[in-house]
C-alpha cells in the first residue's frame, strides 16, 4: 500500500510524464492532439473555421446564343439521384443547352426531350430546382428558352 502512494508522488516531478500527459490532455503549448500524432482527416472543424467555410456554389445563368422562347411548362422534381442541371421536357426535340425562368430566377441547363406531347409536363433536376429557389414538393410553371 505504501508503494501505491509513493509511485505517483515520485512521478509528479518527472518531465517525461508531464510531456506525455500534456500532449494527451491538451496542456500548454499543444493543440489538443497527442505528440507524434496527426489530426484525423475529415474531423469536425472548429466553430470559427465553419464561419469562414465557402458556401455551396449556386450555378449562374449564362447567355444562350441564338435562343428563342420554347414556351411554358409545368414542372415537377425529376429523379433526385440523377446529377447535374437538366430538364426533361416535351418542348424540345433534341438535347440542347437552354434556360429556365421561375419567379425572377434563371438557370442555364441541359434540355432533354421526353417525346411527350406539349402540355404533358416536365421534370427538373434537384440541382435546377434548388438553383431556381423552387419548392421541391410542388408543381411549378417555368418559361423555357432554347434553340428551335
Residue 60 lies in a domain: no
Using pLDDT thresholds of 50, 70 and 90, give the confidence band for residue 70.
very high
Per the structure, the complete domain to which residue 23 belongs is given by 6-36
The model's pTM is 0.57
Q: How far is CA 123 from the centre of its chain?
A: 21
Q: Are residues 142 and 74 in the same domain?
A: yes
Residue 61 lies in a domain: no
Using pLDDT thresholds of 50, 70 and 90, give the confidence band for residue 118.
confident
Give percent above pLDDT 70 in the chain. Answer: 55
Residue 141: partners with Cβ closer than 8 Å, 6 or more residues away: 72, 73, 74, 75, 102
The tally of domains found in the chain comes to: 2
Amino acid at each position: 500500500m505504501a508503494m501505491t502512494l509513493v509511485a505517483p508522488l515520485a512521478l509528479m516531478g518527472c518531465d517525461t510524464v508531464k510531456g506525455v500527459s500534456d500532449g494527451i490532455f491538451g496542456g500548454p503549448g499543444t493543440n489538443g492532439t497527442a505528440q507524434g500524432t496527426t489530426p484525423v482527416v475529415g474531423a469536425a472543424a472548429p466553430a470559427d473555421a465553419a464561419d469562414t467555410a465557402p458556401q455551396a456554389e449556386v450555378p449562374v445563368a449564362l447567355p444562350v446564343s441564338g435562343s428563342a422562347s420554347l414556351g411554358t411548362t409545368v414542372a415537377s422534381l425529376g429523379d433526385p439521384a440523377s446529377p447535374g442541371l437538366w430538364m426533361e421536357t416535351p418542348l424540345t426535340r433534341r438535347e440542347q443547352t437552354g434556360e429556365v425562368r421561375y419567379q425572377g430566377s434563371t438557370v442555364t441547363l441541359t434540355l432533354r426531350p421526353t417525346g411527350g406531347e406539349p402540355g404533358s409536363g416536365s421534370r427538373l433536376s434537384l440541382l435546377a430546382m434548388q438553383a431556381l429557389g423552387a419548392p421541391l414538393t410542388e408543381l411549378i410553371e417555368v418559361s423555357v428558352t432554347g434553340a428551335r
